[in-house]
Chains A and B, each alone.
Chain A
Amino acid sequence: MYRYIVNRVLLVIPTLVGAAALVFVLMRLIPGDICVVRLSSGGGNVDPRAVALCHAELGLDRSPILQFLDFVWGFFRLDFGISMWSGKPVAEEIAARLPISLEIAVMATVVAIAISVPLGTISALKQNSWIDHVVRTIAIAGIATPSFWLGIVAILAVLDISHAIFGAPWMPPIDYVPFWQDPLRNLSMVILPALTVGYRYAAVTMRMTRSAMLEVLREDYIRTARAKGLVERIIINRHALKNALLPVVTLIGIEFAFLIGGLVVTEQVFNLNGVGRLFVLAVQNQDYTLTQALVMLTVAVFVLTNLVVDLLYAWLDPRIRYG
């Protein structure tokens, strides 16, 4: 077991280094120069002296190897550098935008779990009944609908409905206030994106819960429990659900990691000042330091989540533990 943990943790490192190399190379392959874009926002004409100055300022005149080493070394020291576009520390840029992304991610997760686990379970228990078909249809609709389209429709619906009912169109506030400052205003801003993201999240989890439950319900020990005459509800809650939830929890963990990056489109639709939007800006501005930092953070979250999940699996599943 110990060896397994050590091995598993060590495997994280090449993934991180690989991701660092990939983002480094990818960003530099994009044609264009951030200094030129910054200095020529009006029309494309730049003073080459100013560009050279800018390069020196941003460290772009050094050799790529040096830049890469600087980047990796900085990452291990948790020093993410300065954003090339705004000149502010990357940590500050990200910290300013993290709260809203996290809030939406957490709310979406809560919504998703609250909907999907009960519905997925019922769907599995009543396989091929009309309830099953309805739930599956809702779930697949959630996966099939483009999330940005859903967001657009949601905003419009709210505008139109509020206009019809109250006579004046209502739109969630466009400037963010933290939850503790003004909970109502904060929630009114976050609820629509959270529901939009949560719906899709719920759909995926619902399907997983259903198939995992179906798996478990076929197992011999469930058949035995039924043969022994246990109450169905106890069978479900004490035996089936616990075992079915393992892959579900895994999925929730991994989807959460994807959420942060997946918020990109949602934040565009609702114009939220979050990490997803920062991501797109960083790539479009060719802000190497910011993009690299964001990618490394996303990869780190993903990798660590996977690690935790794998270790959890190993701990819970005796076959792996003693195998």
Chain B
Amino acid sequence: MIERLGLGAVGLGAALCIASLCATTVAAPAATDTPKSGGILTYMIPADAPPSFDGHRETTYATVHAVAPFYSVLIRVNPDNPSSTTDFVCDLCTEMPTPTDGGKTYTFKIREGVKFHDGSPLTAADVAASWQEIIHPSEGVSSARESYFIMVDKVEATDATTVVFRLKFATNAFLPALADPFAWIYKKEILVKNPHWFEKNIMGSGPFKFAGYEIGQSIKGERNPDYYHKGKPYLDGFIGIFAAKQAVRVDAIRADRAAMEFRGLPPSARDELVRELGDKITVQTSDWNCGNLVTPNHKRKPFDDVRVRRALALAIDSWNGAPALAKIATVHTVAGIVFPGSPLAANKEELQKLAGFWPDIGKSREEAKRLLKEAGAEGLKFELMNRNVDQPYKYVATWLIDEWSKVGLQVTQRVLPTGPFFDALRHGTFDVTMDFNCQGVVNPLLDIGKFLPHSVYAENYGNYDDDKEIALYQALLRETDAVKQRAMLREFEKYVLDTQAHMLMTPWWNRIIPARSYVKGWKISPSHYINQDLANVWLDK
């Protein structure tokens, strides 16, 4: 049976996955089936309604899962190969351009014959205007990704089918940033009249037309017959149902009220569905470009003492903990600061030299106890702050607290809802906190920015300064030789996780998508933000 093979492959793949190049295990049938047209896909969106429909403004997956099918983007990660970190293809453009002018100018040719859902034509002017709003938002408009595009000087439409991006300096980080799944192309006419219009309304050129939204309940789309990728979409329409509660989503898939959800379910849900439905369920898994970290507050004693921080790391047995946690939580792979599927990630031997990854946990914990004693922090009591989210935050925290108890640390948990949690993070009112580093398209050099001090990276909450670390990172970023860059990256990783123990790693998240077997054409990737326009999805019914 397919799912048994699939699970077996997952298990084997899991064993092989640690610090290797494979990051995806797909237990889906071969892509040689011919897609059938027709049918309505019902899927769950694991959130309460999104704050708005405007992709430029929002950063939550709820907006993407609900609204991406209505819009087009300029370029994107290849939907047929979404786990690739380098395979970008055109959506609205005709071909991927080669940068000119020393890498500072990118010229895109826009397809002809593209229409918005109201019939009006989409031209380069619309593309340029949309990107202008993202990169240099007008007064009163907020763009969540403005900071990703500081390298862009200008974007303009030189004629009806050409869009030119002029950069201030050449960088490899531009194209991956341009493939952002939130960079939807809006109609210039509307943007000019009212840039806030898209918060509550939808007018796109994507594979589906907007067909209704019931507040807090569901969003519906119907096939766009004029879609410029001929033959697609295969579906007649879709219904996205908002359900923040996991049990409801699992029960819905079980009872075929919905076919799947696109974020990720925990292993217990997968086990239940597989057990109940056998080959009616297909499971895809992938490493996730997300991970939980532990951030000690360097401004609170005794966490200003590097010995205490190192002790925290040394107490944790990730090698034995991860496989066990992988059975109950959405985590899986033990890795350093770089996404485990990337060539820049540390392999097992390199990892085992770092604090928190020693192969001999007995020795590791002895060292931890010795350090605590030396620092005068034996039997330390502290509070671990956490978010009120089960998977995997609270699961990982329960595991960590038990691990720390083995070196005599007495830790209690302080759980906060989202608002107060962010508030406490930003004001530094915590001892040690669960933290997270979630990025979209895998881009290791940018993704590790999280470990840089707050003066350089706004989302770091450790409350510390470290010029040496910043210098290491700058050098690393500018290095052009791949081998040297990797070595410098190892040096940076050792400095951050071991020498200074600024933050602690916990096993990387694991994305598990069980779906009804009749759903085909959707491939999993390390990011739950990409590949959500549903144009490739078809139902084998």
Contact = CB atoms under 8 A, between A and B. Distances in A.
Contacts of A38: 51
B217 A175 contact: yes
A168 B255 CA distance: 7
Nearest to B418: A37
A161 interface: no
A86 B49 contact: yes
B257 A32 contact: no
Contacts of B51: 38, 41, 85-86
Contacts of B245: 268-269, 271
Interface stretch (B9-17, B52-60, B317-325, B478-486): B52-60
A42 B59 contact: yes
Interface string B420-458: 111111100000000011100000000000000000001
Interface string A36-63: 1111111111110110011000000000
B419 A33 contact: yes
Contact of B438 (A34, A42, A93, A271): A42
A169 B276 contact: yes
B252 A284 contact: no
Contacts of A33: 419, 423
B247 A171 contact: no
B200 interface: yes
Interface in A171-185: 171, 173-176
Interface in B18-55: 48-49, 51-52
A47 B59 CA distance: 13
Contacts of B199: 87
Interface residue tally on A, bucketed by range = 35 or more
Nearest to B244: A271
Interface string A112-147: 000000000000000000000000000000000000
B276 A32 contact: no
A50 B57 CA distance: 10
Contact of B255 (A43, A159, A176, A273): A159
B156 interface: no
Interface string B228-259: 00000000000101111101100110111110
A5 interface: no
Given A45-B458, A92-B215, A169 B438 contact: no
A163 B276 contact: yes
A152 interface: yes
Nearest to A175: B218
A41 B58 contact: yes
Contacts of B418: 32, 37, 284
Given A271-B248, A273-B216, A47 B243 contact: no
Contacts of A96: 214-217
Contacts of B255: 159, 168-171
A88 B215 contact: yes
Interface string A57-97: 00000000000000000000000000001111000110011
A157 B58 CA distance: 40
Contacts of A30: 419-420
A201 B254 CA distance: 31
Nearest to B457: A45
Given A30-B420, A41-B58, A47 B146 contact: yes
B424 A31 contact: yes
B140 interface: yes
Contacts of A34: 419
Given A32-B421, A284-B418, A285-B419, 15 more contacts: A31-B420, A32-B420, A40-B422, A41-B62, A42-B144, A44-B422, A44-B461, A49-B142, A88-B200, A152-B247, A168-B255, A171-B254, A173-B257, A271-B244, A278-B216
15 contacts: A32-B423, A34-B419, A36-B426, A38-B51, A41-B58, A50-B142, A53-B142, A87-B199, A96-B217, A97-B215, A174-B243, A175-B239, A271-B244, A278-B216, A284-B418
Interface of A: 30-34, 36-47, 49-50, 53-54, 85-88, 92-93, 96-97, 152, 155, 159, 163, 168-171, 173-176, 268-271, 273, 277-278, 281, 284-286
Interface of B: 48-49, 51-52, 57-60, 62, 140, 142, 144, 146-147, 199-200, 214-218, 239, 241-245, 247-248, 251-252, 254-258, 276, 417-426, 436-438, 458-459, 461
